[in-house]
Amino acid sequence: MNFLVGDIGGTNTRLLFSKMNGNICDVLYEKSYFSQQFSCLNEVINKFLLDYDITGSIDAACFAIAGPVENGTVSVTNLPWLIKEDELNEELHTSHVKLINDFLAVAIGISELKENDFVIIQEGQEQVSSDAAIIGAGTGLGAAHLVWSGNQYHPYTSEAGHTGFAPENALQSELLIWLQQQYSHVSLEMLLSGKGLVTIYEFHHKIIGLNESLQVKEAMKTNDPAQVITEYALADTDELCQKTLACFIDIYGAAAGNIALNYYPIGEIYIAGGIAEKIKDKIISPAFIQAFVNKGLLSSNMKKITIKLITQDKVGLYGALAMLKSTYL
């Protein structure tokens, strides 16, 4: 059987073609494309099939999409794409296309990873539950829940990224007030994402009054602003970028703690998404852990949870493939 799977996000669309031979799944082709360069998913798929001269039948396909899937349809959150299972069935000449939420795929894909695909940020003091949670910032923000049934995990997705941002200190309160003057709803994703990093940068420059260096300003004209901020912050060469990333880390740690409490009790929480691995040294810092643990009466409970950073950026792609394998094996 020939499988086509994809992980579709606002920045990248990753596609993979594999062949099932009995119980063995061989990955034959895999490639990543910039989502913004295409007008729809069908265009990317056709480009992929053409790039590798794939002419054989597609027996089944599964696509992990950044957005809520309802009745086989999903509007990609950070892309002007509307994706429908029935249209993909027709395009691929198969009746076995499945659309799933991207963080459902991440939740499934965790079981496909190896030990060296994780970095332990906090070693839990004791195992209070076999359940787990996931949070990840990238182009957007996602979260999911893994419930242990005694012999396997059952993954459940959410749209937690669109819940309201809750400030944890005076600086974050000022940030919230500034954003509320511009928007009727300030979501967590508006801050914990690539665009969110830029928003926090603008806040520190325009409201807090930190000077913007000409070097950073010029770099942003030709490069992704979030990437520029991250690079200068990690190099410790620009105060505005450093303060921006520090604020981002505080918000991220607190949000991860909130997700853990929403699904509590859990034994582990995974940090996923495209941003965390790029700022790994900051994620494993005391500031992130302190923000995660700082939950008042339940602070001691938070120290019992193991925090793991996923460093494998293909976890969602592997999750989509795992879903097909579990269906057809």
Q: What pairing do the DSSP bridges indicate for beta strands 24-34 and 97-101?
A: unpaired
Query: Are 26 and 123 part of one and the same domain?
Result: no
pLDDT at 328 over 80: no
**Which pair of tokens denotes residue 173?**
């309160």
* Dist. CA 75–CA 220, nearest whole Å: 29
Per-residue pLDDT, 329: 67
- Is residue 262 within 8 A of residue 302, CB to CB? The reply is no
Query: Are 84 and 122 part of one and the same domain?
Result: no
Classify 67 as helix, strand or coil.
coil
Q: Each residue of 40-96: pLDDT tens digit?
A: 999 999 999 999 999 989 999 999 998 899 999 999 888 999 999 999 999 999 989
Query: Are 172 and 293 part of one and the same domain?
Result: yes
Nearest Cα neighbor of 1 from 62, 85, 49, 58 is 58
Query: Are 302 and 320 part of one and the same domain?
Result: no
* Dist. CA 318–CA 111, nearest whole Å: 9
| Number of domains comprising the chain | 2
Query: Are 86 and 119 part of one and the same domain?
Result: no
Query: Are 270 and 158 part of one and the same domain?
Result: yes
Return the CATH number at 288.
3.40.367.20
Determine if the pTM surpasses 0.75: yes
Domain of residue 274: give its range. 115-311
Query: Are 67 and 188 part of one and the same domain?
Result: no
Query: Are 206 and 78 part of one and the same domain?
Result: no
* Dist. CA 95–CA 61, nearest whole Å: 9
Query: Are 37 and 137 part of one and the same domain?
Result: no
Return the CATH number at 87.
3.30.420.40
Mean pLDDT of 281-285: 91
Residues of the chain above pLDDT 90, percent: 88
pLDDT band at 110 (very low <50, low <70, confident <90, very high): very high
Query: Are 240 and 149 part of one and the same domain?
Result: yes
Query: Are 260 and 298 part of one and the same domain?
Result: yes
**Please, what is the average pLDDT of the chain?**
94
Query: Are 230 and 247 part of one and the same domain?
Result: yes
Per-residue pLDDT, 266: 96
